[in-house]
Amino acid sequence: MPKPEKHVFVCIQNRPEGHPKGSCTARGGPALLDEFRRLFEEKGLWGRFQVTSTGCLGPCEEGPNVLVYPDGVMYAKVTAADVTEIIDQHLMEDKPVDRLRISEELWG
Ligand code: FES
């Protein structure tokens, strides 16, 4: 398998209802993962980029969170509607989507 240019990690950590931290699954993480996979397929990006589900990335209250390596860019409160922008701007053009970046006080 070739090393991907960029690797997207989508948090789908789940926690019991009522847990004080909540979870990215409760906030919509699985729908993001589905959208990344759907668009990777549609745009023929498999092989160049990779997307993987992951457990908790840390800043749960800001979820659902998406982490892109090797850049170390964390996106917060991502919606399925934001996924196209992350792919087209960050993965394809190497320009992180600033409006979705988590604040540096929370992850910096
Ligand atoms: S549950 Fe997703 S960052 Fe913690």
Tokens standing for residue 44 = 């023929």
Q: What is the pLDDT of residue 103?
A: 95
Residue 50 near ligand 1, beta carbon < 6 Å: no
Answer yes or no: is 94 within a domain.
yes
Among 58, 32, 47, which Cα is nearest to 2's? Answer: 47
In this predicted structure, the answer to whether residue 2 has a pLDDT above a threshold of 90 is no
* CATH label of the domain that carries residue 15: 3.40.30.10
Ligand 1 near 10 CB (within 6 A): no
Ligand 1 near 23 CB (within 6 A)? yes
pLDDT digits over 46-73, tens only? 999 999 999 999 999 999 999 999 999 9
Ligand 1 closest atom vs CA 56: 4
Is residue 1 one of the residues assigned to a domain? Answer: no
Query: Is the distance from CB of 82 to CB of 37 less than 8 angstroms?
Result: no
**What is residue 108's predicted lDDT score, i.e. its pLDDT?**
83
Burial of 105 (0-12, 13-18, 19+ CB in 10 A): exposed
Q: How many CA atoms, within 13 angstroms, populate the side-chain half-sphere of residue 75?
A: 27
Question: Residue 84 sits in which domain range?
Answer: 6-100
Give this prediction's pTM. 0.97
SS (H, E, C) 67-101: EEECCCEEECCCCHHHHHHHHHHHHCCCCCCHHHE
Ligand 1 pocket test, pick from 23, 67, 75 with the greatest ligand atom count within 8 Å of Cβ, gives 23
pLDDT at 1: 79
| Cα three-residue angle 82-39-64, rounded to 5 degrees | 40
- Number of structural domains (the chain) is 1
Residue 13 lies in a domain: yes
- pLDDT of 94 reads 98
Q: Is residue 105 part of a domain?
A: no
- How far, rounded to the nearest angstrom, does the alpha carbon of residue 60 sit from its chain's CA centroid? 13
* For ligand 1, mutation pick of 10, 11, 78 (most atoms within 8 Å of CB): 11
Q: What is the pLDDT of residues 13-45, one digit of tens each?
A: 999 999 999 999 999 999 999 999 999 999 999
